[in-house]
Structure 1
Amino acid sequence: MPSPDCDLPSSANAIEAQVRDYFERVYRPGAAQFHGIVHVAANPTNGMIAFSGPMMRASGGFPVSRIGLLAPDGAVTLLGSDAANDSQPKWSPDGRRLAFLSDRDHGAGNFQLMIASADALDRATAPAPIAGEAVESFVWAADSGRILLQSADAGADAAGSAATARIGGGDGGERPSWMPTVETGGHDGLWRRAHILDVESGALQRVGADGQNVWEADWCGPDAVVAITSASPTEGGWYQTEIAIAPAAGGAFERFAAPEVEIAGVTAAPDGKTIAAIEGRFHRTVQLGSLILYDRATGAAREPDIGAQVSALAWRDANRLFFAGFAAPGSVAGTLDIASDTTVIEWRASGTAGRKVPYAIPEGDYAVLVPGHAFDRYPYLARSTATGEQMLLDLTPPDLAPVQARMKPAEVVRWQGRDGLDILGYLAMPQGVERPPLVAFIHGGPSHLFRDSWTFDNPLAALLVGSGYAVLFPNPRGSSGRGLDFASRVIGDMAGEDVHDILAGIDHVIANHPVDGSRLFVTGGSYGGFMTTWLVGQTGRFQAACAIAPLTDMRSQYFTAHHPEFLSLYSEGDPYDVGGTFDQRSPLAHANKVTTPTLLIAGEMDKTTPPAQAVQFHHALVLADVPTELVLYPEEGHAAARYEAQIDQGTRVLRWFAQWRDRN
């Protein structure tokens, strides 16, 4: 790691050793080390807590999802083995069974339901799998005898911003190397459906009709199902959804509500009289927006004032709705009494909980289970009550201290855009470095956000700070967590005022914090990659840049990505309008002005921003004689997930920045 004068290791081998040391300390491959908590479930009768999260196998490769069982005495046991993925544990309401998803015996990513008795959790059994489909989510019925399943055709596209490209198991086994990939324009093999499983008999009842794509589903009382549906099963179809209700006995979904914005998290009160949903501008894996309540009898909608944007919902009872969410600049959880419209905030932190967006669950009548973390705090599980917070499980690895010692706690920073709009972000400073170089790290989306989270949800952030860089994590206009108006300000203005918000943030940090304003860098993934390639075409003030999974040419992106509707919505452009938005706001159109050495990284399996986006920009810089490097990972999707690929990517980024840090 660097000395106080930021003298980074100069050789590739030294940087790789530095990165490898970080990953070994943080992930501990083969040591059964959870490096996050994704799902939590509390048994209502015996105090057992089930949780799931990722860990790395000794052999490396992609992370494996495991389920842990936390006993009331603090003992932790693991279900299954690391030979398969187990996820989404949920106890039956009577506490007698634990259900979860697993790809045991089905192939990686092809999840099916498994059920175990609470007194024999190591002997889970699987109902007959749904032929040709993988289960994505499920919900127990209040009677503990039925389970509502939401499934996808094996081979359907994974979520738009997920790292992988497809739901597992869709190719039917090994394919000859010569066999072509065929696209017809049809929707066969892309559909998502709802089914109800009778736990005792194993009988399966389809809910919904052909031509109705089910993205999410929940019970709406004992006799109905409420869902988020669309006519199109494509990833772009997710931006054209509605709330619909169908009888649990089978039959088509009927439209209940059709908001003009995105919908997520739909859930009905136990009596089925009230339906709650998250609505706003966001993406399928980053669901954070306004809480909307619907009266099922009248269809009337209202937005209660709870003082937060929400990302997780659960009913404590028919009149009390639990939520977790973001109240800038921190995270909160609380309960809304829907009859009196009163809200009690039951947990609040400058850090956060959950993975991409805040997540927590209610326990009993008043407690909250919080899978918490912060930039300088490794993930943990705590119980929050009116009397305080009780640590239940600290996941901190035994050798993490040297990593944490290099990072100061993240600091909230606030500034204004050039039009006076209030913007906020976070600044992470390295320990013991005077006037470090400054990196602007731009999030994806644009409907996404940075929170004070462990490594800001990206190991590259911790690697940069640990290597002596200060890092600014801005949430410019268009980011989630500040309401619909703030999120909508990027609509029709991608690479507009959001750019100036970021530049103003850089100037604010230089003016008010001890950083070296003459050594600036920029990086980001997805929309952050788009902004990175746009910025280097507009200014030469950066020493070097790294664009990960970027969008660089709107027209080719529109015709090659699996969700062109997203680009139409956010750009308000038309690919056939020559000289219009698709040309004016494409970084590739400005590549001839770039002078900044630029590293481009992409996954060859990425269907959200296909690798050709990085390839085109790289070739444009080569032709312009600008220093550039293109890195394509053959097994990665929209973000590097494989252990070896993460180490390689971190090494390449640090090496690239070190190579050019004194360029000017």
Structure 2
Amino acid sequence: MVLDSEEVKVSENATTILTVDELVTMQRPFDVEVAPDGETIVYVVRPVSREEEHWRSSLWIVPFMEGEARQFTSGLWHDREPRWSPDGGWIAFLSDRAERGKTSVYLIPRNGGEALRVFDQAGEIDNLSWSPDGRFLAFLMVEPETEEEKQRRERRDDARVWDADWKYRRLWLLDVRTRAARVVSPERVQVWAYAWAPDSARLALAVSGTPRVDDVFRVTSVALLDIESGEYRELFTMRGVAEDLVWSADGEWLAYRGPLGRVVHGEAVFRRRVRGGEAECLTAGYRGTVEHLGPYRQGEALVVVGYEGLDARVYRLEWDGEQRLLCPRTTGSWHGRVSGSGDGTRWAGVWSDAEHVPDVWCWRVSNDISLGDTTLQRRTHLHPEIEAKLCPARSIEWTSDPGVTVQGLLVLPRDGTAKPPYPLVVQIHGGPTSQWANEFVASWHDWAQPLASRGCAVLLPNPRGSTGRGTQWINALFGDVGGGEYRDVVSGVEALVAAGLADPFRLGVSGWSWGGYLTAWTITQTDRFRAAFMGAGLCNLISDNNLGDIPSANLSYFERSPSEDPEPYWDRSPIRYVQRVRTPVLIAHGEDDERVSVCESIQFYRALQILEKPCQLVTYPREKHGFEERNHQRDLLTRILQWFAQHLDLEAPERVTMATTAPSASG
């Protein structure tokens, strides 16, 4: 095992424990936008959970260089997606202040004042943007319920025919001066994303034939729309959806993110001529993964946020593929895209690492990009009280199979709270095409820091199939689901045991979504772990394929669907080997989860229960794949902490009522 420094050292200053309430009530910044003149930054502040039926969030303003942040809207509603007008005089944003839970479009002057509603409808609206000439606002809106549909629903005459009567997400244009709005994309075409041409006369649209989310893993199209004539024509097709469409300044090229290998993930940047031609990859050979793409100076060049290992870097990418570092920060994570001023000299985004909470940071660059500028400033400090409690974290590497080096993040207790060898919990990320980055890992979904503050070390591994290490690593699961990735995880745990950091008799394994799957798989393959937590996981790859909303995603990892060839799926399904389980397992799932059906957790629980294995299942009404309600986040995180406290002899968290792990006869 190789650490990023010669010796792991933890802070000598003891700290109090991170509480569950702190983590489920904290505020997070989102959607940073730098004004065209670079003087001001607008961003959204939203709590990580909601207490009521609807979200509440507010717009905030902070000067780019000096001065305090101030709240710009009240926070009584769900205000989001602030967008500066090209002249910098107005901020357009979305809000549900007219009808809670349904969004409309608003304008507010740069210097503050009353927000003006400029669109007379409300519904499912997102992807707000100005045309380059400032004449129009564009946005995507799901087709609203008709009066006839509303009357049928109220009569409860609401039989649902699957894959019929779809509601499409369509593109609207709003004339800012006249406030006249019209839908401009064709009927029965789902618009996933769009981008304005520099002339404000055309838009490029990423589209598919149905609104099924599964379409983004299949063949989709990019089309061109002329807003005056209404002419609509397909430019090209591709596997997966074209993400982050960007026009070149001269209107000749389109750039976008797309897959390089079999796995459908927007890992690379491509360009195509608008008038026709083949795709050209601008990031071929890149050893990381591109996660965000945007324009530099109205399309003069491109800006990419790429992850290399556990850390993010921001590059200026030329249209010929040359790339140069744009931001001096080369460690930590940028949460989403970064935003720049009109002249490309001032930039901002939301940044964190494992020892800093997410906040708004900004930096300057010279017009001569080769000169650079190391100025990087923190413009918000939302939770110093939480940041003061964060435990130290280190990047680590270890050897799995011969010649296979795996990377991960190790979070350790502070000195004074525990001494090595520590109890250890490994948390496996979802995806599987995702990663653990050097970022803030303390929430209902990321329990490394709250566990570490209670004396437990936590390993966050990036096994084969993860992003951040090039296309070969991303595509390494094809034909080997649950194979190399399982060995990568377990070998990381064994390396920490061998190094004297992990107690071999107090080991736990956990994960959410695909991490939940790999947790279930792990405890059917080894009895090395004393406790497990399976969150929103799948136990049966055949039933999961047919119950979830993205069955085509499996074709990134298997040759054929389970309808055509079920045996490879069944061979790597944990429930096939459930009789081997010896590890007590806590299972949790949202009851309205469409990505991974709650039936997956029920299956595994029932199978364990019949075999009289130690287990517990907790389900959460109204929750989908990600939890939103505050009481549910609080309950879930408390249960996870208490489960590992009980089985690994940790300091117990705030208590919740927990049933015995022994199954009952009735269930």
The TM tier, using the shorter chain, reads 0.7 to 0.9
Q: Distance in 1 between matches of 2:281 and 2:211?
A: 29
Residues 1:122 and 2:100 aligned together:
no
Q: 2:136 aligned to 138, 146, 154, which one?
A: 146
Tell me, yes or no, if the aligned pair for 1:283 and 1:445 is still in contact at 8 Å. Answer: no
1:274 is aligned to 2:253:
yes
Mapping of residues 604-615 of structure 1, within 5 Å? 604-615=591-602
Partner SS for 2:432: coil
**How far apart, CA to CA, are the structure 2 residues paired with 1:444 and 1:173?**
41
The 1:312/1:417 distance shift into structure 2, 3 A limit, reads same
CA contact (8 A) 2:591 2:621 kept: yes
Task: Tell me which residue corresponds to 1:309.
Answer: 289
Please name the residue that 2:238 is paired with: 259
Alignment of 1:32-51 (within 5 A): 35-45=27-37, 47-51=39-43
Alpha-carbon shift at residue 442 of structure 1 (Å): 0.6
Note the C-alpha offset of 1:175: 7.4
Closer/same/farther in 2, CA of residues 122 and 526 from structure 1, 3 Å limit: farther
Determine the C-alpha separation between the residues in 2 that align with 1:561 and 1:283.
21
Cross-structure match for 1:137? 127
Q: How far off is 1:230 after superposition?
A: 1.0
Match of 2:439 in 1: 453
Q: CA deviation at 1:521?
A: 0.6
In the alignment, which residue of structure 1 is the partner of 2:428?
A: 442
1:171, 1:541 → 2: CA distance? 55
Alignment of 1:325-364 (within 5 A): 325-338=306-319, 341-354=322-335, 358-363=336-341, 364=343
Measured after TM superposition, the shift of residue 578 of structure 1 is: 7.1
Q: Residues of 1 paired with 2:48 and 2:327: CA distance?
A: 34
Which one-letter code corresponds to 2:345 in the other structure? Y
2:352 paired residue among 352, 369, 373? 373
The corresponding residue for 1:469 is: 456
- Taking structure 2 as the reference length, the TM-score comes to 0.85
Q: Matches of 1:340 and 1:619 in 2, distance apart?
A: 54
2 CA distance for matches of 1:138 and 1:313? 17
Residue 466 to residue 206, structure 1, CA distance change in 2 (3 Å):
same
For residue 327 of structure 1, report the CA deviation from its aligned partner: 1.9
Shift of 1:279: 1.2
Give 1:427 shift: 0.8
* Aligned counterpart, 1:112: 104
Checking the alignment, whether the CA contact within 8 Å between 1:57 and 1:82 is kept in structure 2 is no
Q: Report the 3-state secondary structure (helix = DSSP H, G, I; strand = E; otherwise coil) of the residue aligned with 1:455.
A: coil
Q: Residue 216 and residue 399 in structure 1: after superposition, are their counterparts in 2 closer, same or farther (change >3 A)?
A: same
Aligned AA (2:242): I
- Matching residue's letter, 1:106: E
**Equivalent residue, structure 2, for 1:163:** none
Q: Which 5+ residue runs of structure 2 have no aligned equivalent?
A: 1-15, 365-371, 650-660, 662-667
Greater alpha carbon shift after TM alignment, 70-79 vs 200-209: 70-79
> Could you say if the C-alpha distance between residues 474 and 288 of structure 1 is closer, same or farther in structure 2, counting changes exceeding 3 Å?
farther
CA distance in 2, matches of 1:231, 1:315: 28
Shift of 1:302: 2.0
- Counterpart CA distance in 1 for 2:472 and 2:461 is 18
Q: After superposition, what is the alpha-carbon deviation per residue over 1:562-599, rounded to whole angstroms, capped at 9, x for unaligned? A: 22222344333433357512311221222122111111
Q: 1:418 to 1:283 in 2, by over 3 A?
A: closer
Corresponding residue SS for 2:474:
helix
Decide whether the 8 Å contact of 1:55 with 1:66 is kept in 2. Answer: no
Amino acid at match of 2:359: Y
Is 1:292–2:285 an aligned residue pair? no
Candidates 203, 206, 226, aligned match of 2:180: 203
Match of 2:507 in 1: 520
Higher deviation after alignment, 204-213 or 609-618: 204-213
Alignment partners' CA distance in 2, 1:651 and 1:612:
23
CA distance in 2, matches of 1:283, 1:607: 24
Cα contact 2:137–2:176 (8 A) shared by 1: yes
2:118 partner SS: coil
Q: Any idea what SS the aligned residue of 1:37 has?
A: strand
Instruction: Tell me if structure 1 keeps the 8 A contact 2:315–2:325.
Output: yes
Contact 1:25–1:399 (8 Å) recurs in 2: no
Note closer, same or farther for the CA distance 1:491–1:154 as it changes in structure 2 (3 Å cut).
Answer: farther
Cα distance in structure 1, aligned partners of 2:536 and 2:50: 28
2:13 maps to which residue? none
Query: Is contact 2:49-2:628 (8 Å) kept?
Result: no
How far 1:484 moved relative to its partner? Answer: 2.4
**TM-score, normalization: structure 1?**
0.86
Q: Which moved more, 1:56-65 or 1:288-297?
A: 56-65
Identity among equivalent pairs (%) = 23
SS of structure 2 residue aligned to 1:104: strand
Task: Tell me: CA distance 1:263–1:492, structure 2 relative to 1, closer, same or farther (3 Å).
Answer: farther
Q: Which residue of 2 aligns with 1:646?
A: 633
Asked if the contact 2:310/2:436 (under 8 Å) is kept, the reply is: no
Name which of 418, 421, 425 aligns with 2:408.
425
Asked if the contact 2:510–2:533 (Cα under 8 Å) also holds between the matched residues in 1, the reply is: yes
- Residue 300 of structure 1: CA displacement? 3.5
Is structure 2 residue 77 aligned with structure 1 residue 84? yes
Structure 1: any 5+ residue segments left out of the alignment? 1-17, 156-169
How far the C-alpha of 1:388 sits from its partner, in A, is: 2.0
1:186 aligns with 2:173: no
1:658 alignment partner, one of 618, 640, 645: 645
Structure 1 stretch displaced more, 557-566 or 286-295? 286-295
- Residues 614 and 58 (structure 1), Cα distance of their counterparts in 2 relative to 1, 3 Å cut: closer
Deviations 1:180-237 (A, max 9, x none): 8743123424311112221111222333322221101111232211121111210111
**Residues 579 and 91 of structure 1: CA distance in aligned 2, closer, same or farther (over 3 Å):** closer
User: Retained in 2: the 8 A contact 1:62–1:642?
Assistant: no
Q: Describe the SS at the equivalent of 1:229.
A: strand
- Structure 2 residue 19 is the aligned partner of structure 1 residue 22: yes
Farther-moved stretch of structure 1 (443-452 vs 98-107): 98-107
Following TM superposition, by how much is the alpha carbon of 1:411 offset from its aligned partner in structure 2, in angstroms? Answer: 1.0
Kept in 2: contact 1:437–1:519 (CA 8 A):
yes
Matched, 1:246 2:225: yes
Counterpart CA distance in 2 for 1:114 and 1:96 is 14
The structure-2 alpha-carbon separation of the partners of 1:345 and 1:71, relative to structure 1 and needing over 3 Å to count, comes to: closer
**Residues 499, 58 of structure 1: alpha-carbon distance in 2 compared, 3 angstrom cutoff:** closer
Residues 400-415 of structure 1: pairs in structure 2 closer than 5 A: 400=386, 403-404=389-390, 407-408=391-392, 410-415=393-398
Aligned partners of 2:104 and 2:454: how far apart in 1?
42
